[in-house]
Amino acid sequence: MSEQRFDSVWDAIEDRPAEAANMKARSDLVIAIREVVESWRVTQAEAAKRLGVTQPRMNDLVRGRIDKFSLDALMKLAAQADLSVHVKVVRPAA
């Protein structure tokens, strides 16, 4: 049996590189937003109000249920959390 190494857990889980990249971006955003929300030290209901979402939606975010959020939705939540998101696009080394 040969050993495989991956740059990200998403590269190991997802079949296509594009889907792995999407999941990586979504997980990074969820983590960043969750850290901001935790720093507020408020209830999920109050955090939901600040982000403009329902409390059950906030619970999905806090619990890390990234499958429930599109990249677009997470970008909007990041902006609501006063985060600045930067995207870096590079070509792979030849």
> Is residue 57 situated within a structural domain?
yes
Model pTM score: 0.85
Question: In terms of pLDDT, which residue wins out, 33 or 94?
Answer: 33
Task: List the domain range (segments joined by +) for residue 59.
Answer: 9-80
Question: In terms of pLDDT, which residue wins out, 68 or 15?
Answer: 68
pLDDT tops 80 at residue 8:
no
pLDDT tops 80 at residue 89:
yes
> Is residue 38 situated within a structural domain?
yes
Q: For 23-77, how does the pLDDT look when each residue is reduced to its tens digit (9 = 90+)?
A: 999 999 999 999 999 999 999 999 999 999 999 999 999 999 999 999 999 999 9
Which residues lie closer than 8 Å to 27 by C-beta, 6 or more apart?
10, 64, 66
> Is residue 50 situated within a structural domain?
yes
> Is residue 91 situated within a structural domain?
no
> Is residue 89 situated within a structural domain?
no
CA 19/CA 29 separation, integer angstroms: 15
Count of domains for the chain: 1
pLDDT tops 80 at residue 10:
no
From residue 28, alpha-carbon distances to 22, 31, 34, 45, 94 in Å are 10, 5, 10, 23, 27
Task: Grade residue 91 by pLDDT with cuts at 50, 70 and 90.
Answer: confident
